Amino acid sequence: MCLSIPSKVVKVSEDKTMCTVDTMGVQRDANLMMMADDDVKVGDYVLLHIGFVMNKIDEKEALASIDTYKEILEIMDEDERKQAILEDDECPNRGV
């Protein structure tokens, strides 16, 4: 199962095709081609799937989801935590 962790947009490219997001302290680039022009701005929370921003979500909902995810991470060991965060855009079940 893949979980999409809410990520905060910290930068949008000039041509608005890419952005940089922060996912619980891990920054990565994400493609904006699935979104309408000017739909995503710095400070927005988004959900990613295989490196693409799929949709924007409300900040309150995003923060509640992050809190729940942190609770899950607390019961994992260090290696499991790193793996869960880093594999967020590399869902092994994406073709299922």
Residue 43 lies in a domain: yes
pLDDT digits (tens, 9 = 90+) for 11-32: 999 999 999 999 988 899 999 9
Q: Is 67 domain-assigned?
A: yes
CA 59, CA 35: separation in Å to the nearest integer? 18
**Domain membership flag for residue 58:** yes
Which domain CATH number covers 76?
Answer: 2.30.30.140
pLDDT at residue 7, rounded to an integer: 96
Is 16 contained in some domain? Answer: yes
pLDDT band at 88 (very low <50, low <70, confident <90, very high): low
The runs of H, that is alpha helices, within the chain are: 59-74, 78-86
Say if 95 falls within a structural domain: no
The answer to whether residue 32 sits within a structural domain is yes
Q: Which domain holds residue 47?
A: 7-89
Q: How many domains does the chain have?
A: 1
| 73-84 residue pLDDT tens | 888 887 887 776
Q: Is residue 96 in some structural domain?
A: no
